[in-house]
Amino acid sequence: MRKNHITMKIGNSRKLIPFLLLIAAMSSIQVCYGQGLTTIVAATNNFLKTLNPEELKATQFSFTDSLRIKWSNFPVGMVPRAGIRYGTLGDQSRVAFHDMLSTFLSSQGYLKVTGIMQLDDILNILSQQAFDQGKMSAGQLKNILEKLGWGYDNYFISIWGTPNEKEPWGFSLGGHHMALSLTMRGKDISFTPMFVGTDPAQIQTAKYAGWRVLSKEEDYGFLLLGFLSKAQKAKAILTQATPKDIITNPESSQRITTYSGIAAKEFNADQLEVFKILIQEYLHNFEHDVAHGLYDKIVKTGFDKVYFAWIGGEQRHTPHYYIINGPDFLIEYDNVGFQNDGNHIHAILRQKDNDFGSDILKDHYLNSDHHKK
């Protein structure tokens, strides 16, 4: 948890005594600035209460169901998702869903997630616009509108197990360019893997021209690259072809086991600060306590052991990729796209030891009384 440094001027030393007593009293109190376990569980159960029996059956699954650890970034027309489709929900359930989502995520993360959902609606509008301008055939438009399943309504919500404050349970939100996973056991929470994507990364035409849902993931990457010296760039920039997608995508069993690029221990103070800001852009999508817990873990392990590598162009609107690889976490960012124009982002945050709560569950199965029997 970050410490706040307060500078005070006190003219009379007697005024200092009550202040010091207050500080002493506060030192024994553990302050929680996040939403808190109770709030998250209550918001999830409140969402479930808005569903009728048929909707509940489509939403809630056993925590041990193998589908819990399945994810994809493809459109739902290509890869179906488990859960209830957002577009089928009534207004009361939609309100409860957004209340639930905003307890899991920070305002930054919430706006990114809902922005990605809205961008899927905009993709349909842009496709219709391309057809009207003669840039797309009727067959292509039909395929997009009928087969791919783009749209805000086509995101699927799943609850795994029963939300409670002791036993494991989970939540998933999946759809095009979105894979959000929560695994919770008591106060222990995993929010990874978290995949986000945008196409286009920046809208170029019509009403929403200029909008970038994932702006800082790109901007801070270029900022860090620009801070590096020529010698540092020679280490950080790899000469291989720019990947067409993140390497640890759901369709591949490939895992990144080697460290490439430049180690953060070679950064000066300014470079390290930008590097930290870039990492925090991913962590701060989560609610306060989770975000700072993840960051504190990285600090404890040591930034000296974290590597940064870059592939591709050194300016926007060119295909580029970067990876941040530490002992216990991984960030991948890819901006290439089918048109190879650097305007289609895929990004992911993973915990090497705790995706889908694997570390949380390992401890649970080893130490829970009902699993020892």
* Angle at which helices 215-227 and 269-283 cross, to 10°: 170
DSSP state of 72: -
* DSSP annotation string for 181-203: EEEEETTEEE--SEEEEESSSS-
User: What is the structure's pLDDT at 20?
Assistant: 40
Please state, in angstroms and rounded to a whole number, the distance separating the CA atoms of residues 65 and 69: 8
For the chain, which residues score pLDDT lower than 70? 1-35, 251-254, 362-373
Task: Give the separation between CA 184 and CA 166, rounded to whole angstroms.
Answer: 9
Distance from C-alpha of 274 to C-alpha of 76, rounded to nearest angstrom: 36
Residue 247 burial (10 A CB sphere; 0-12, 13-18, 19+): middle
Reported pTM: 0.87
**Contact between 355 and 192 (Cβ < 8 Å):** yes
Residue 94 and residue 87 in contact, taking contact as beta carbons nearer than 8 Å = no
- Position 89 scores a pLDDT of 99
pLDDT recorded at residue 365:
47
- Cα angle 287, 66, 177; round to 5: 50
